[in-house]
């Protein structure tokens, strides 16, 4: 039976915790990583109702998109929503694991799922992370080259677009003289200068994957002291980032597009700005709070941008100097633009752990409601 740690490994390979935003708190929040899991419940948020549902299902684990614990708790008591629920989780022996902005940032993650929900085609990343790549260079004896190359590739080195394990190697000679306290792979302690036929390996690594890649390098390399260099790669955009952009099969009127958004996201009242007479085909999206990317979507040539948590003044960012809307922007709700994340995670984990039962919560976890008047 897999453990919580076993379930976390493919999630963290897909959405590395290091790619989460600085303010975020992802990973195991409550519980024992070594605990066996045969049933898990997936929800956008962990709430008392979700905990009760997990207990009724006999689940050992809740996997949430939003973390319950965003900031450090000074105590875990029955006072306060977060502290009280964390205490109840621990008392019920139900673990909580959160995968938040790291899932937002990964290709195929939250915004890609939102784009698919809206029926977009040819989906691509909207805004890739800049200056998040480094070049790792190391030197390996010829007879250990393949072991080291495959180890760092398995740890995440060499990902370029749709290609994995990308690397470049050149042959050369390495020189070293072991000190008296050394334990060399070649030569003897305090011995003569050594010359070894080696291969230089160069690989591209995303910054958040560097630590596990270096750990894999050191574990696979035969040398006591591993020589390696890490260089920043400037001006190159990572495959990770926020938002997504694609297009509808055919252009449609603004009214039809807004109806599409409302129906497919099961949204309440939509708040939007734009030209009521405009048409929409190229669409940008960002699940959750994506108002900071209105300008990015506009520069990308989007006819409409769907996200949430837009403030009043941010709606003016779609206007030109004459006050004419250059793009439609739609606030469909934070919960509504991320709710499909539950199914995304359920499908991903079910495929990899067929012996574990994954449930999607039956609860709408958002505390927000809309008032449409009195009948």
Known binding-site residue numbers for a divalent metal cation: 65-66, 104, 334, 338
Residue numbering of the annotated binding site? 65-66, 104, 334, 338
CA–CA distance, 150 with 167 (Å, rounded to integer): 10
Buried b (16+ CB within 10 A) or exposed e, 276-295: eebbbbbbbbbbbebbebbe
Q: For the chain, what is the HEC assignment?
A: CCEHHHHHHHHHHHCCHHHCCCCCCCEEEECCCCCECCEEEEECCCCHHHHHHHHHHCCCEEEECCCCCCCCCCCCCCCCHHHHHHHHHHHHCCEEEECCHHHHHCCCCHHHHHHHHCCCEEEEEEEEEECCEEEEEEEEEHHHHHHHHHHHHHCCCCCECCECCCCEEEEEEEEECCCCCCCCCCCCCCCCCEEEEEEEEEEEEEHHHHHHHHHHHHHHCCCCCCCEEEEEECCCEEEEEEEEEEEEEEEEEHHHHHHHHHHHCCCCCCEEECCCCCEEEEEEEEEEECHHHHHHHHHCCCCEEEEECCCCHHHHHHECCCCCECCEEEECCCCCCCCCHHHHHHHHHHHHCCCCEEEECCCCCCCCCCCCCCC
φ and ψ at 331, to 5 degrees? Answer: -95, 105
> Which one-letter DSSP state was computed for residue 34?
T
Task: Kindly tell me the burial class for residue 161, based on how many C-beta atoms sit within 10 Å of its own C-beta (0-12, 13-18, 19 or more).
Answer: exposed
């Amino acid at each position: 039976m897999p453990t919580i740690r076993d379930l976390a490994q493919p999630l963290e390979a897909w959405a590395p915790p290091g790619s989460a935003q600085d303010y975020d708190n992802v990973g195991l929040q409550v519980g024992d990583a070594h605990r066996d899991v045969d049933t898990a419940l997936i929800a956008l948020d962990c709430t008392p109702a979700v905990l009760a549902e997990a207990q009724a299902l006999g689940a050992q684990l809740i996997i949430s998109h939003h973390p319950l614990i965003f900031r450090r708790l000074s105590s875990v008591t029955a006072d306060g929503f977060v502290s009280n629920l964390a205490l109840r989780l621990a008392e019920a022996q139900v673990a909580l694991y959160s995968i938040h902005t790291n899932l937002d940032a990964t290709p195929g993650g939250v915004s890609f799922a939102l784009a698919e929900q809206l029926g977009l085609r040819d989906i691509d990343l909207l805004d890739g992370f800049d200056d998040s790549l480094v070049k790792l260079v190391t030197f390996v004896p010829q007879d250990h080259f393949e072991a080291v190359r495959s180890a760092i590739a398995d740890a995440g080195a060499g990902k370029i677009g749709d290609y994995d394990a990308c690397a470049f190697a050149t042959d050369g000679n390495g020189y070293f003289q072991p000190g008296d306290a050394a334990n060399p792979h070649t030569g003897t302690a305090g011995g003569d200068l050594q010359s070894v036929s080696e291969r230089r390996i160069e690989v591209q690594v995303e910054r958040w994957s560097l630590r596990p890649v270096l750990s894999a390098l050191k574990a696979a390399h035969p040398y006591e002291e591993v020589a390696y260099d890490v260089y920043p790669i400037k001006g190159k955009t990572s495959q990770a980032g926020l938002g997504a952009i694609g297009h509808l099969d055919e252009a449609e009127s603004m009214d039809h597009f807004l109806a599409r958004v409302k129906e497919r996201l099961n949204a309440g009242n939509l708040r939007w700005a734009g030209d009521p007479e405009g048409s929409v085909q190229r669409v940008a999206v960002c699940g959750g709070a994506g108002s900071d990317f209105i300008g990015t979507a506009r520069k990308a040539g989007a006819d409409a941008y769907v996200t949430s948590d837009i403030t009043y003044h941010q709606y003016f960012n779609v206007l030109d100097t004459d006050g004419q809307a250059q793009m439609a922007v739609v606030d469909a709700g934070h919960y509504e633009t991320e709710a499909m994340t539950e199914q995304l995670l359920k499908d991903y984990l079910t495929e990899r752990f067929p012996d574990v039962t994954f449930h999607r919560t039956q609860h709408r976890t958002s505390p927000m409601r809309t008032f449409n008047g009195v009948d």
